[in-house]
Amino acid sequence: MWSGDNSGALVEYIQEMPNNSFVLMATFDDGSTKLKPEAKKEIEKLGSTLITKIAFRASWVFLGGKNITLPNDFRKEKILFSNKKWNKYKGWPSEIQIDGCVGQAAGK
């Protein structure tokens, strides 16, 4: 996202997604600096609760969808902030992941 403004394209993509579509998003290094509030609001509509908290060099991963309800016990989002004390890779946070299985019924 460093070259140009991609928030508008992201907002348009999310708004045009078909209902019952899944989306998987992830950042590494910087997904926050140029991400405009309108884009964050659209990501929140997909189910994110942490998108407004991402910061410089934070790792963030999210599984959501348009008009989709994921099981309550499914961990659909994680964030790991950059911290000099804990960073694993010389100033860079470690990778993060979510795992599990989402059945087709979640999208219907």
Residue 1 belongs to some domain of the structure:
no
Residue 2 belongs to some domain of the structure:
no
C-alpha 12/C-alpha 41 separation (Å) is: 12
Domain count, the chain: 1
C-alpha 72/C-alpha 62 separation (Å) is: 15
What are residue 10's phi and psi, to 5 degrees?
A: -65, -45
C-alpha 24/C-alpha 33 separation (Å) is: 20
Q: Is 44 exposed, middle or buried (0-12, 13-18, 19+ CB in 10 A)?
A: middle
List the domain range (segments joined by +) for residue 42.
7-107
Q: Looking at residue 1, what is its pLDDT?
A: 47
What's the predicted TM-score (pTM) here? 0.84
Per-residue pLDDT tens, the chain, 108 aa: give them: 456 788 999 999 999 999 999 999 998 777 888 899 999 999 999 999 999 999 888 889 999 999 988 888 888 999 988 777 877 777 777 778 888 888 765 555
Q: Which amino acid appears at position 98 of this protein?
A: I
Closest CA to 100 of 60, 49, 63: 63
C-alpha 71/C-alpha 95 separation (Å) is: 24
- Answer whether 58's CB lies under 8 Å from 35's CB: no
Residue 26 belongs to some domain of the structure:
yes
